[in-house]
Amino acid sequence: MTLFKQIYSLLFGLFVLVMTSLAYFQFTETRNFMANQMESELNNASTSLSLMLKPHLQTGDMVAAETLVNVIFEGGFYRKVSLTWLANKQVQEWENPIVVEGVPQWFIDLDLFTSQSSETVITSGWLQLANLKIEAHPGLGYQELWRVMNNTLLVISVLFLLSILVLHFRLKTLLTPLNEIAIHASEIAQRVFNPDMDLPKTAELKTVVEAINSMSGQLKQVFNTLDNEVDSLRRDNLIDGVSNLPNRQYLTGQMNSWLTDPGYGGLLLVKMDWLEEIHSKYGYQVRDETIRVLALRMQEQLPSIAESVIARIANTEFALLITKGERQDINLYLQALIRLINQEMSKAGCVPNRGFAIGVTERDGDMQASDLLSQADNALQHAATSNKASSWFDSQHLQEFNREQWRDRLVTAINQNQFVFQWQSVLDCETNEVLQRELYCRLNIDGKQVRAGQFMPYVELLSLGSQLDRCLLESVVKQGLLNINNEPVAVNLTHDSLQDPEFHTWLAAFLQKTQFAEQIYFEIPEMAANNNLAECIQLAELIRAGGAQLGIDHCGRQMGSLSYLQQLKPHYVKLDQSLAFYSNNQQNNELCRALVNIAKGLNIEVIMTAIENQQQLEQIQSLRTSGYQGYISAPTDVIRMDGAASMS
């Protein structure tokens, strides 16, 4: 029960007690007063009637006596009059039927008043003439008591209602700061730091608000410090000090992570010997300033053409990893890079189109980072020896299908739910129990099983992501994959689904009608959280409202702040695979530790990825993450409850 309800109930109870006591006091006092009043009136009536009957009794005029008795009946509430002649013991009785108007019978049946009577001996000198007895009726008492109690209860009810209204609004006003404190404290518990609350006028609450504001500020400072620590560790270990670009180690980690996921793009290696010419003419300071300007312009202009990671990997060598781009996009990127380099060479007084070489290669199927680097380096050496500005590595790879052929085959396979499922276990770091299972899928195309690494680039190119996610989720439910095991199933959502309002509407309806919605974990990549935060927040609220949970994949891959975690409030994060690569270095291991501390501080579970063997697992034990995932527990085929492999 809330504090408001407790105080309200207490004051309500006290008020009812006081009002009940007042009503009872008024009731008893009125009843006693009316009993005494009726007794007094009865005695007066007996005395008066005795005096009026005396002369008529002396003469024996019974008609006049009866007339006087009737007058008594008409003037008050009297039930019976008895007159006993003492001379001959003759008894005369007069009874009056009493009807009490305006008083309910149940009230009269309470017998609140005792029966009253008065006897008087009528004498003439020393001679006793008759004995007069009058019995009163309590109707007057009931009438007066009923009237008084009605008025009393009416006044008490009005006062009660007015008091309740005043109490209600006054309590709300007094407790509003306390309610704000509760909301503010709850938000702090969820690591949401709003501006400081205004100080209330109540002294006690003012002290509490000051303490809450102070605590909020300190916690906010702690998390900002952790975020800054992550940024500092990245800069110290993964950023080149001259160009402020990522270094070779960061590039290698990003390539390793990128190549493990389905994707398309390429790598450009650039060797700029003209920078050594700047060094020999003007010194290292001018050369370093030229490198900084060149790096800044590359960061400003090139990512708008295609998503990319730009790194300085040696003294005069740069690498540009295009993480999403077809051959024509890579070519546009290359031409923009050549123009940019020539512009900077002209500004520095060097001859354009000389003194640099660029090697270009495309991602092709299953590749390792070493393969990509080797191909780009071969192309670079060819450009340098042939005195060309750029050279492409010729993989002599012919595409199996063109774009439209891929569209036809993908649409058919997706709509017919031609999914073949595998999943990989996420294991608890302490008990090795399964925490969740991440779902992977293949598609049956032209009678062959096609891996996600082959078809997902075309799904993105052709904007079929939301259609794929819908059919995949429906197939998961249809095949009963959610209730094969007790562990939740993690499903990766595509970028198309994150930005598609129609998919959001469909997903809300899907979760409402799905019996095992709590068994679904939806994962979105960190890049999407950074680039489309508003849509991701909306999707996160929708997912939680439907009973499912949200996870962030590739957490820590981006160089930016992790403040998005406070707004998205995911259930867990999966650290990017590049961090497993960095963790081989003790200094970079501190970067992983700082990321884990930030997530844990926000009450978010942390899962380490790319764990390949027991030695690597032992290395991450000190990070105290919630779980781990990798080929130490390889993906397995999903076996349905009927014993068949999961395929629709």
What crossing angle do the helices spanning 3-59 and 139-189 adopt, rounded to 10°?
180
Instruction: Report which DSSP code applies to 140.
Output: H
Q: Are 174 and 3 in contact (CB under 8 A)?
A: no
Measured distance CA(556)–CA(40) in Å, rounded: 98
Measured distance CA(534)–CA(551) in Å, rounded: 16
pLDDT at 384: 92
pLDDT band at 238 (very low <50, low <70, confident <90, very high): confident
pLDDT at 322: 96
Measured distance CA(536)–CA(529) in Å, rounded: 6
pLDDT band at 16 (very low <50, low <70, confident <90, very high): confident
Mean pLDDT of the chain: 86
What crossing angle do the helices spanning 284-301 and 274-282 adopt, rounded to 10°?
140
Any bridge partners for residue 266, and if so which? 322, 362
What crossing angle do the helices spanning 327-347 and 284-301 adopt, rounded to 10°?
150
pLDDT at 224: 74
Q: Is 126 helix (H, G, I), strand (E, B) or coil?
A: coil
CA atoms within 13 A of residue 54's CA, in its CB half-sphere: 14
20 closest CA partner among 153, 112, 161 = 153
Residues 6+ apart with CB under 8 A from 25: none
Measured distance CA(140)–CA(36) in Å, rounded: 12
Residue type, 33: F
pLDDT at 587: 59
pLDDT band at 574 (very low <50, low <70, confident <90, very high): very high
Measured distance CA(58)–CA(630) in Å, rounded: 129
Q: Is 184 helix (H, G, I), strand (E, B) or coil?
A: helix
Instruction: Report which DSSP code applies to 639.
Output: B
204 has a pLDDT exceeding 70: no
Buried/exposed code over 508-528 (b: 16+ C-beta within 10 A; e: otherwise): eebbeebebbebbbbbbbbbb
Q: What is the pLDDT of residues 97-142, one digit of tens each?
A: 777 788 888 888 888 888 888 888 888 777 888 888 888 888 888 8
pLDDT at 113: 85
Q: Report the sign of the C-alpha dihedral through residues 327, 310, 455, 369, in that order.
A: positive
Measured distance CA(377)–CA(278) in Å, rounded: 24
Q: Which residue has the higher pLDDT, 538 or 67?
A: 538
Give percent above pLDDT 90 in the chain.
40
Q: What is the pLDDT of residues 336-360, one digit of tens each?
A: 999 999 999 999 989 898 899 999 9
643 has a pLDDT exceeding 60: no
pLDDT band at 85 (very low <50, low <70, confident <90, very high): confident
